[in-house]
Structures are given as C-alpha cells and as structure tokens.
Structure 1
C-alpha cells in the first residue's frame, strides 16, 4: 500500500475529525459538545484537533460550510438542468427551499445554537462570517447567470443579490418550519421573481442615452 504524503495524511485526519464532530454535535448539541469528546470519537488526541482547527467553533463552521457547499452545488445543477429543459429555474429554487425546510431540522437547531454562541462571543463571529463568505461566493456565479438571463443592469451586482437571496432563503426556511402553511412551494421563486422584476434593466439604461 502506498504511504500517504504528509498533506494527504493531514487531509485524512481533518476529515475524520469533521466526521466525528458531526456525530458529536448531533448527539450532544453545540453547547454540550467538547473538543475532548470530538477527539475521543475520532480516535485522536486533543492536540490533533488543535493542530488542525483553532477550536470547536472552527470545526462547526467547517462542517456547516461543507453542507452549505453541497446544497449550493445541488442548486446550481438543478437550475442548469431546468434552464436546459426550458423550465423556470426560480420554480426549482422554490421546490428546493421546501425540501430544505422540511428535513434536517437537527442541523437547523445546531446553527441556531452556534449563532447564539457567536452573538455572546463576538470574536467567533469572524469564523461564522468566513463560512458565510464561501456560501455567498458559490451563490454569486449562479445568480450572475440569473441576472443576465433577465437582462438586469450591471448596477445590480451578483454579490449584493447573493446576500439578499441568502437572507430571504434563511428567513423563509424559518417561516416554513414555524408554520408550513405560510410558505408554499412557489413562494421563494415568486419572491425572487418580484425582486428581479423591480430591478433596473440594461435596456432601460440604453434607452436613456
């Protein structure tokens, strides 16, 4: 068997620690989980955790970023398929919102715990911000295509639109979980369509010249 390089071994250790963290967070909740429990579950020393992550906060942030990346990748793929098949990509987003809201409640509870922890420990907010930055970066490309498809003027940046879309998504997911009757499968897509309809169009600027 080929011996792993140092980089490969480090990557493998990080993945084992993240897998263990996911299990411990799910079982104990964010507050009760500890670096010691995570290290024990992974079969490593506490030192191995700290040589790969700054602490429990970064472990959690990396986990949430991985899951967010998976969701965004699924969204990008689904919207691409919808575009190819002549279907409305915004309707696809609506269905995916409902699917996200109706499952994985455990992850939502953990995210809420971490948010409260970050509010009470402001230095942790930077870790949360970096994780969100990665999600926004992935959203930016698919939203740039959406803006282009609808002829939106370049004064509306994909970066700003991504922030609004993420906030709307998170808010509607929470409302759906509070009362499923409030948020239909179509509402998220409709809300994005309303936003896009009110945006300045490239043709409007050209006509004023």
Structure 2
C-alpha cells in the first residue's frame, strides 16, 4: 500500500493541503470503484486500498461510502451547472445557439458519462429504501441546486417573468427535466434527439414569459 509521501513534491504541504489532497485521492478512487462495482457492491476497504490509504484515513475524512458518493454527486451537479452558465455567457438565453449547446450537454451526459447516471439511479433507490439517507442526500445536493437557482433567476429576469414565478420552483422543474431526459435517452436514444432539451427549455421559458403577472395592474377595459 502506498503512502502520501510516495509522490515527490516540490515543497512540504501544509496540513490543510495534505488533507485536501487525501480527500481528492479518496474521491477519485471512490469514483473508479463505484463505476466498477456499483454503489451497493463497492466497499470502503476497496476504495481505501485503491486510493493507497488505510481504512482509518478514509474514515478520518468521510463518514463512509454514502458520504463519498454524495460528495461526488454534488461535484457532478456543480460541474453541469457551471457548463450551462458558460453556455449562457457565450450565447444569449433563449437563442438557438444556447439551446443547441445545452442539448449537446445533455447528450454528452447521457451518452458519454455512462457510469454515473446509473449510479445516481441506484443511489436514489438505496436512499428511498433507507429513509435516514434522504435528508443527507438533500443536503448534499443543496449547493448545486442553489447554483442552478441563481442561473434560473437570471433567465427569469431576462425573460421579464412575472414576479410570482419563483426561481426555486423553476430550478426544480429544469433539474427534473434534465435528469428525466438523460435516463430516457439511455433507454431509447431516438426519443430524445440532441435538440429536445434546448427546445423544452425554450417552451418552458416562453410560457413563463407569457404568463400574466398578478402584481401588474390589469389593463383597463376600453370605455363603451
């Protein structure tokens, strides 16, 4: 089993840097083991060995494989929101270019990131069967959800959406749409063409933009 000192370093790491490096190596090892064995089949012993650490080192950084998996899930979620934000930095929201690029993002996740989508489904089923995990799962996903809400809030402002439309609710719909289409494409790729996700977002935000704002005074009826 290797140790942290096996790799040459230019200078001595601080305690915080060494801890961050250990956590990173454990997370990377966990991702590989989960991909091979699934969440249920993976063991903390194999994850620690793959990372080159003892079980004690793993438990000094994570409570167990649930915590490892949830941190990986949150990282993936943040990464996808960041990619969407970069797309909207390059192209104005609601344009065909933005829709096309967001569609390609979904297709990449569905077709290339072939290990993690099934793992998410497996962990969701595990959490449902172990209700004590659900609150922990919700907490771990709070950061990517908040990032998505911020992105959605910008979209709503640009669309001139009614004030009663909450970014949190719309973010929930967008996340569910993305996750659902990823799973459906894995099952039936022809039913989810590359352009569908972008089109669906345009339909969603066009409908929101057309909704009446209850805070605005209704137009006066013309005098008869």
- What's the TM-score once normalised by structure 2's chain length? 0.84
Alpha carbons 1:65, 1:131 under 8 Å: kept: yes
Q: Deviations over 1:28-51 (max 9, x none)?
A: 221111111111111211111111
Hey, what does 2:70 align to over in structure 1?
A: 61
Please give the alpha-carbon distance, in whole angstroms, between the structure 1 residues aligned to 2:83 and 2:53. Answer: 33
Displacement of 1:203: 7.7
- State whether residues 103 and 195 of structure 2, in contact with CA within 8 Å, keep that contact through their aligned partners in structure 1: yes
Instruction: Answer yes or no: is the 8 Å Cα contact 2:73–2:141 preserved in 1.
Output: no
Aligned residues: 208
List structure 1 segments (4+ residues) > 6 angstroms apart after TM superposition.
Answer: none
Q: Tell me, what secondary structure is at the counterpart of 1:154?
A: coil
The gaps in structure 1 that reach 5 residues or longer are: none
| Distance in 1 (alpha carbons) for counterparts of 2:14 and 2:210 | 53
Q: 1:12 aligns with which of 3, 13, 21?
A: 21
Alignment partner of 2:155 out of 146, 149, 153: 146
Shift of 1:87: 5.0
In 1: Cα distance, 2:36 partner to 2:201 partner? 36
Cα RMSD over matched residues?
Answer: 2.1
Q: Is the 8 A contact 1:57 1:127 kept in 2?
A: no
Could you tell me the TM-score, scaled by structure 1's length?
Answer: 0.90
Question: Aligned match of 1:183 in 192, 195, 212?
Answer: 192
**Between Structure 1 and Structure 2, which shows a larger proportion of helix residues?**
1
Partner of 1:71: 80
Secondary structure of the residue that 2:216 maps to in structure 1?
Answer: helix
Equivalent in the alignment of 1:136: 145
Does the alignment pair 1:119 with 2:123? no
